[in-house]
Structure 1
Amino acid sequence: MTKTVLITGASSGIGLAIARRFAAEQYEVFNLDIVMAENHDENDHIHYRHCDITNHDAVKQVVDSIASSQTIDVLVSNAGMHFSANIENTQEIDFDRVMSLNVKGAYSVSRAVIPYMKQKQDGVILFIGSDQSSVGKPNSFVYNISKHALASMAKTIALDYAKDNIRANTLCPGTVETPLYHKAIDAYCEKSGADKKRVHAEEAALQPLGRIGHVNDVAALALFLASKDASFITGALYAVDGGYTTG
């Protein structure tokens, strides 16, 4: 029987890798994003739905529309943004913008899918957190708060809906090579005059495994946690960070 996964922000980076991995396993994949992927691979299994995750009513409308013709088996709450600043350099508009996408967006899509998962007494919700879901980092005030919040959401949903056979877990990627990673490195090099190859090598050296993560490292774990092989796993945080947070 065909299963359906909803993924927010699946037009690039980790979200796109997860979409492709689930599609390869014959899931019907719905990408909820405000932009379509540049190299959009709409096919028999990947479907784009325009959705502003920060708009609660829009999220519910899209989810309800999908649920009218599909079961919703898995949700991957991936959409998010990074913001680098300490508390003094975080303006109220910055705080609201990050929390609206990273936290309210996750809340809205989770709240929209849970009633459908309860109806069939089965479901999986995966939050894409960060190594900052469990540790602190400098100049990361509001981003750190938002990623800790996702870990909390997974734990509370896991407890509240275990009776409905709905599992919730958080994946915590560390430094992963994505378009956003390269954008951040490019901005830093432009500002500082540093050599990009050297900065990339330094980032890799910070990881105990000696390399930057790949999007497929995260996608493979997402697929496993959505499978029946992971049916006794809920409320957990899974580091995908090359050992960065072990110290």
Structure 2
Amino acid sequence: MFTLHGKTALVTGGASGIGLAISQTFAKAGATVHILEINASQAQQVAEAITADGGRAFAHAVDISRQADVLEVVGKIVAEGPIHILVNNAGIAHIGTAESTTEADFDRIVSVNIKGVYNCLHAVIPHLKANGGGVILNMASVAATIGIPDRFAYSMSKGAVLTMTLSVAKDYLKHNIRCNCISPARVHTPFVDGFLAKNYPGREEEMFAKLAATQPIGRMAKPSEIGALALYLCSDEAGFITGCDYPIDGGFTRLNN
């Protein structure tokens, strides 16, 4: 079950954190994985590690906020064969309220978290249509549907990802394209460790415990757990699922009362 043998998957931000787990999980399930990353050397290292482990992966340096760059990379990939899966995972975080968020910060979030997703959808959907269908999985967040303090721009961007998911799912039903999104709560990635080290030096363990406790289940998610859900939603076994948002949140959305 949950095999991706014979499938080609594009994973944006696929060389770190959740994206890395998705790239590794998909490769183990038999997919040929194309990692689209702004960090070229990191992407290459991950692709080489996956290949050394018996999988198939390729690295592509691309800034998803630049549509011409995305179109160029997607064109090169399609020239080698059809695309079956797109995972829009790349994104950036921001802390701030509507009052404290600068215009530059706001524009940066929009360019990556919203426009970047749009650019990839715009580039890949025509090829999925031409190939008779496919699967799109977007990475949203519990912040798309729950009020979280000091996450104004980030929450806005993830709300846009959620509604883009619904729109694409509706528009491409007749083209056999499924589109869903995943909404994680806190996931223990290197970003979390870096955030704590930067903002709470000397208090990392204390603050990590506090952040972990905000999930009723009592811990943060592992990236591999997000990867496992992504694998299911992109597999043929999930063929009846489209237009859905999947909170994977340790009870954060429903049980924090």
In the superposition, the TM-score normalised over structure 1's length comes to 0.96
State which of 18, 24, 29 in structure 2 corresponds to 1:20.
24
CA–CA distance in 2 between the matches of 1:231 and 1:47?
27
Q: Following TM superposition, by how much is the alpha carbon of 1:41 offset from its aligned partner in structure 2, in angstroms?
A: 4.0
Q: Following TM superposition, by how much is the alpha carbon of 1:188 offset from its aligned partner in structure 2, in angstroms?
A: 2.2
The C-alpha deviation readout for 1:167-193, integer Å capped at 9, x for no partner, is 001100110000111111112213xx5
SS in 1 for 2:181: strand
Structural mapping, 1:214-225, within 5 Å: 214-225=222-233
CA–CA distance in 2 between the matches of 1:125 and 1:203?
30
The C-alpha deviation readout for 1:76-115, integer Å capped at 9, x for no partner, is 0011000000011111111000110001000000111100
Q: Following TM superposition, by how much is the alpha carbon of 1:22 offset from its aligned partner in structure 2, in angstroms?
A: 0.3
CA–CA distance in 2 between the matches of 1:41 and 1:60?
21
Matched residue, 1:34: 38
| Percent of residue pairs identical | 39
Structural mapping, 1:114-153, within 5 Å: 114-153=125-164
SS in 1 for 2:226: helix
Structural mapping, 1:145-164, within 5 Å: 145-164=156-175
In the superposition, the TM-score normalised over structure 2's length comes to 0.92
Q: Following TM superposition, by how much is the alpha carbon of 1:68 offset from its aligned partner in structure 2, in angstroms?
A: 1.0
SS in 2 for 1:219: helix
SS in 2 for 1:211: coil
Q: Following TM superposition, by how much is the alpha carbon of 1:154 offset from its aligned partner in structure 2, in angstroms?
A: 0.5
State which of 185, 194, 211 in structure 1 corresponds to 2:196.
185
CA–CA distance in 1 between the matches of 2:140 and 2:117?
11
CA–CA distance in 2 between the matches of 1:137 and 1:28?
37
State which of 81, 102, 112 in structure 2 corresponds to 1:101.
112
The runs of at least 4 consecutive aligned structure 1 residues that moved more than 4 Å come to none
Matched residue, 1:228: 236
* Matched letter for residue 239 of structure 1: P
SS in 2 for 1:37: helix
Matched residue, 1:62: 73
CA–CA distance in 1 between the matches of 2:207 and 2:142?
20
